[in-house]
Amino acid sequence: MEITNIVAKIMICNQNELTEEQKSVVEAAKIATLGSYAPYSHFNVGAGVLLDNGEIVKGSNQENAAYPSGTCAERTALFYAGANFPQAKVKKIAIIASHNGDFTEKVCSPCGACRQVMLESQYRAGEPIEVLLCSKDEIYIFDSVDALLPLGFDYSDLNA
Ligand code: THU
């Protein structure tokens, strides 16, 4: 038997430590929460996606009375980016949630389905996507989607 560890590097920062590019994608995620439709969970999530053509795309969670028909902020933003800028590479994604009008104390951690979609965007881009998970005061920065979805299933597994 062999035991191996999975290690993830997380950079924990405050707003002032971000680059201008990181600040703009976090700001887009904050603004995106305003477009959230969450009458069931009252949990308003926003995602900002920076593309290599300079565009910043916003997405928010869109719920439905038939609960599984709704979708998360990250997928709304990434699918919008894919549909409207199919040639562009995703460079960064920032995610934040607000509840009862305040950004949450805990960083917003993406669900498994969104991590899988981020992995596909990263595969499409051919280079690592930086992921910024935000709370009211802190930002957890991951260099790549791989850290959030170790041993993830991608195109290479289809051809293995
Ligand atoms: N949600 C997101 O939009 N992104 C996440 O990262 C976590 C969860 C949404 C789905 C649902 O509308 C609400 O938050 C509560 O789960």
How does DSSP assign 48-108, residue by residue? EEEETTS-EEEEE-B--SSGGG-B-HHHHHHHHHHHH-TTPPEEEEEEEEEETTEE-SSPP
* Distance in Å, CA 42 to ligand 1 centroid: 10
Residue 85 has pLDDT above 80, yes or no: yes
Q: For the residues 4-17, what does the mean pLDDT come to?
A: 96
pLDDT in tens, 12-27: 999 999 999 999 999 9
Give 28-52 as a DSSP string.
HHHHHGGG-B-TTT-EEEEEEEEET
The pTM of this model reads: 0.96
pLDDT the model gives residue 159: 84
Q: How far is the C-alpha of 95 from the C-alpha of 127, rounded, in Å? A: 20
Joined tokens for residue 121: 């965007």
108 lines ligand 1 (CB under 6 A): yes
74 C-alpha to ligand 1 centroid (Å): 9
Q: Which amino acids are annotated catalytic? A: 74
Average pLDDT of the chain is 97
Tokens of residue 31, six digits = 């603004």
The pLDDT > 90 percentage for the chain reads 98
| Cβ–ligand 1 contact at 74 (below 6 Å) | yes
Main-chain phi, psi angles of 87, to 5 degrees: -85, -15
Q: What tokens does 137 get? A: 């005061």
- Whether 112 shows a pLDDT value over 80: the answer reads yes
